[in-house]
């Protein structure tokens, strides 16, 4: 579908070659670049912070989609906005003040996303709908790439699509997106698909053609 955006996650790229990996995947048809920030606290893994985001920014031609899996989150929003993020997504579970977090993201000049873990109900973001640009539905428990898609989240996507109505809010799917699961979530109303392992498998900076085949297969 031409209205579906594919956002490869650099979590599955070669960490020593982010610039070249990003250029390769863009040449092979990526729409957005998804950047997974993990703190070893909100999620078990640690990835990188705002300095890495700033360093990769010049290599990204389109949307830099930064997914913050960190807590506390508010103190770091300014730094990620300054790194050049177009969209900053924080988790609704990251603290008691998701409304304040979304305000802070918008005040910092970025578009605001809110992510929901698999156990979190749609009602948790009902009162944020008029101030967000993106909802990220986690279809795995965050922290690692290459996990299995959680099918119960398809129902959540349908509910969110109905809740969103005609507001201009993206519904993004993150985790376990493959050629098999992608049609299920786009049929349910998602329009942005994050994919890590499904995009980066089989290719490399030296041999990027598989990235394109993988993107077209999703």
Catalytic positions, written as ranges: 36, 174
63 CB contacts (<8 Å, ≥6 apart)? 5, 7, 31, 32, 33, 86, 87
Min dist. Cβ of residue 23 to ligand DX5 (A): 19
Give the residues lining the site for ligand DX5 (CB under 6 A).
Answer: 9, 11-12, 34, 36, 67, 140, 142-143, 145-147, 174-177, 194-198
Q: Is residue 113 left, alpha or beta, with left meaning phi > 0 and alpha meaning psi from -120 to 50? A: beta
Shortest distance, position 115 Cβ to ligand DX5, whole Å? 8
In a 10 Å sphere around its CB, with 0-12 CB exposed, 13-18 middle and 19+ buried, how is residue 21 labelled?
buried
CA–CA separation, 6 and 134 (whole Å): 14
**Nearer Cβ to ligand DX5 (48/103):** 48
45 labelled as ligand-binding? no
Nearer to ligand DX5, 71 or 147 (CB): 147
> Residue 166 annotated as binding?
no
Classified as helix, coil or strand, 13 is coil
Residue from 5, 67, 156, 170 in contact with Zn ion (CB under 5 A): 67
Does the annotation place 84 within a ligand binding site? no
Binding residues for a divalent metal cation: 34, 36, 67, 174
């Amino acid at each position: 579908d031409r209205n579906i955006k594919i956002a490869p996650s650099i979590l599955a790229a070669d960490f020593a070659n982010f610039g070249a990996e990003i250029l390769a995947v863009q040449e092979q048809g990526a729409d957005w670049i998804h950047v997974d920030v993990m703190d070893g606290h909100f999620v078990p893994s640690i990835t990188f912070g705002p300095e890495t985001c700033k360093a990769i920014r010049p290599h990204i031609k389109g949307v830099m989609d930064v997914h913050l899996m960190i807590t506390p989150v508010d103190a770091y929003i300014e730094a990620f906005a300054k790194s050049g993020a177009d969209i900053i997504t924080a988790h609704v579970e990251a603290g008691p003040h998701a409304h304040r977090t979304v305000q802070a993201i918008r005040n910092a000049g970025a578009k605001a996303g809110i992510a929901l873990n698999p156990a979190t109900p749609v009602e948790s973001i009902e009162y944020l709908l008029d101030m967000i640009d993106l909802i990220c539905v986690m279809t795995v428990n965050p922290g690692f790439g290459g996990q299995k898609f959680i099918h119960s989240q398809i129902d959540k996507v349908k509910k969110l699509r109905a809740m969103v109505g005609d507001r201009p809010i993206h519904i993004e799917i993150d985790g376990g997106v493959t050629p098999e699961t992608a049609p299920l979530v786009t049929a349910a109303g998602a329009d942005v698909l994050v994919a890590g392992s499904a995009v980066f498998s089989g290719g490399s900076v030296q041999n990027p053609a598989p990235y394109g085949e993988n993107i077209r297969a999703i």
